[in-house]
Amino acid sequence: MTVAPQAQPAPEKGLARIAGHVAAISGEVDRLLGMPMGTAEDGDRLSQVMAEMQGMSKLLADTRAEIVHLSPPPTGLGDTLDAVVDETEQAAMEIMKQAERAQAASGRLTSGASTDTKADLAEVDDAATCILMACAFQDITGQRIRKVLSAMRSVEERIATLVALMGIRQEDLPQDAGGAPAGSDAALLNGPSSSAEGGLGQNAVDDLFN
Amino acid sequence: MLATPASEGDRGVKILVVDDYPTMRRIVRNLLDQIGFKDVEEAGNGAEAFEKIKVSRYDMVISDWNMEPMTGLELLKHVRADAALSKTPFIMVTAESKTENVIAAKQAGASQYIVKPFTAETLKAKIASVVG
């Protein structure tokens, strides 16, 4: 069994521990399989037990292999998403700054307070160009998010394989795992919802509200 | 720029904008500025907002819902429970758009409910409806 270093993140440590247990059980089964056979009378029962133990051993070996593959990928997915949050915030700030610059210049032009019409028009134009350039964040963040999605899909597939391997059925899963109690304020913190998820548009909200 | 003249909105109305995202506070502040509300202050969550509301009187609160340590819904309940503050117009501006959210906000006494992302016209219409 490989002992996970202290500094490793919790999920990885947990996986390593489970993999270790599986390996230990697997070793124990192998040891039992290697023990000398009993008398001839016990032969039938023993061979049946042995067949069952071999099945168990194989299952444990397969499970262990799947768990080993579940270890988090080397590049931190959380860091990638943190970068997306930072980049979108920076882009939003830049776009707002430039939009406000354009609004100020256009305000001077509209109100007649402009002392240099040509310069103010150029300012509006320049701000619009800066807004266009700031929108390049979408390309970068899009690539980062796709990278995370592909890693998540691969983990999802491996978990599905593991669940199938262990014969876990839907009805074995605990009900209401970890969710906030229904009817509490915390249960109302759903975040953005698409219309498919039951999210309402402004008109539907107004109908409910007024 | 919105069609409303800058003079229309402002009647000495003091507004508190509560949101944990500075970008959203800046958007709301910009729109308020365009429709003539110049006296605008900001808070980053419900607890910070409630401290400000207790000290300084606001004519309107425009608040997000999902914030820590105090949510917009809790802030609304605190405001409605305080006799001196209970009549303050309170507009919820939130990405929470499920039926149960809208109903909970209405029951807690929200004056209006705006779903993110929203348009400048929606914000303007809802403010007009609560300021009268």
Task: Flag whether pLDDT at A8 surpasses 60.
Answer: no
Place of tokens 């899909």: A153
| Mean pLDDT, residues B116-127 taken together | 91
- The pLDDT value recorded for residue A2 is 43
B65 residue type, one letter:
W
Of A99-103, A156-160, B96-100, B101-105, the least confident: A156-160
Rounded to whole angstroms, the Cα distance separating A121 from A126 reads 9
| Mean pLDDT, residues B52-73 taken together | 95
What does each C-alpha distance from A15 to A20, A56, B77 come to in angstroms?
8, 20, 44
| Mean pLDDT, residues A155-165 taken together | 84
DSSP 8-state secondary structure symbol assigned to residue A112: T
- Bond into A181 cis (ω within 30): no
Which structure tokens are listed for A41? 């009378």
Write the residue in A106, A191, A209 that is nearest to B102 by C-beta. A209
Q: Which fold has domain B13-131?
A: Rossmann fold (3.40.50)
**Beta bridge partner(s), residue A198:** none
| Mean pLDDT, residues B38-47 taken together | 96
- The pLDDT value recorded for residue A5 is 46
- The pLDDT value recorded for residue B75 is 97
Task: Flag whether pLDDT at A150 surpasses 60.
Answer: yes
| Selection from B122, B132, B131, B115 nearest residue A191 by Cα | B115
- Residue B6 contacts residue B34 (beta carbons within 8 Å): yes
Rounded to whole angstroms, the Cα distance separating A91 from A138 reads 9
- Residue A199 contacts B, CB cutoff 8 Å: yes
pLDDT averaged over every residue in chain A:
82
Higher pLDDT, B36 or A22: B36
| Mean pLDDT, residues B37-49 taken together | 96
Alpha-carbon dihedral angle through residues A190, A191, A197, A198, given to the nearest 10 degrees: 80
Write the residue in B21, B30, B118 that is nearest to A202 by C-beta. B118
Taking an 8 Å cut-off on Cβ atoms, the answer to whether B101 and A93 are in contact is no
Higher pLDDT, B91 or A65: B91
The minimum CA-CA distance between A77 and chain B, rounded to whole Å, is 23
Contacts of A96 in chain B (CB under 8 A): 23, 26-27, 30
ipTM above 0.90, yes or no: no
Provide the percentage of residues in chain B whose pLDDT is more than 70: 91
- The pLDDT value recorded for residue A39 is 66
Long-range (24+ apart) CB contacts under 8 A made by A171-178 are none
Q: What φ, ψ does residue B96 adopt, rounded to 5°?
A: -70, 115
Query: At a CB cut-off of 8 Å and minimum separation 6, what does B103 contact?
Result: A208
B10 pLDDT tier (thresholds 50, 70, 90) = low
**Beta bridge partner(s), residue B115:** B94
Rounded to whole angstroms, the Cα distance separating B42 from B45 reads 9
| Mean pLDDT, residues B114-126 taken together | 91
- Residue A125 contacts B, CB cutoff 8 Å: no
Upper half-sphere CA count for residue A36 (Cβ side, 13 Å): 2
Backbone Cα Rg of chain B: 14
- Residue B78 contacts residue B109 (beta carbons within 8 Å): no
H/E stretch holding A64 reads: helix A43-69
- The pLDDT value recorded for residue B6 is 45
Interface mutation target, options B101, B106, B129, chain A, most CBs of A under 10 Å:
B101
pLDDT digits (tens, 9 = 90+) for A181-193: 777 888 899 888 8
- The pLDDT value recorded for residue A72 is 61
* Three-class SS state of B113: strand
The runs of H, that is alpha helices, within A112-192 are 117-134, 137-165
Task: Flag whether pLDDT at B129 surpasses 50.
Answer: yes
| Mean pLDDT, residues B35-45 taken together | 94
| Mean pLDDT, residues B67-92 taken together | 96
Taking an 8 Å cut-off on Cβ atoms, the answer to whether A103 and B1 are in contact is yes
Task: Flag whether pLDDT at A38 surpasses 70.
Answer: no
A155 pLDDT tier (thresholds 50, 70, 90) = confident
Provide the percentage of residues in chain A whose pLDDT is more than 90: 31
What is the per-residue burial (b if ≥16 Cβ within 10 Å, else e) of A35-67?
eeeeeeeeeeeeeeeeeeeeeebebbeebbebb
Q: Tell whether the torsion through CA atoms of B25, B27, B30 and B32 is positive or negative.
A: negative
The minimum CA-CA distance between B68 and chain A, rounded to whole Å, is 11
- Residue A5 contacts B, CB cutoff 8 Å: no
Of A23-32, A158-167, A199-208, the least confident: A23-32
- Bond into B117 cis (ω within 30): yes
All structural domains of chain B with their residue ranges: 13-131
- Residue A72 contacts residue A9 (beta carbons within 8 Å): yes
Taking an 8 Å cut-off on Cβ atoms, the answer to whether B106 and A209 are in contact is yes
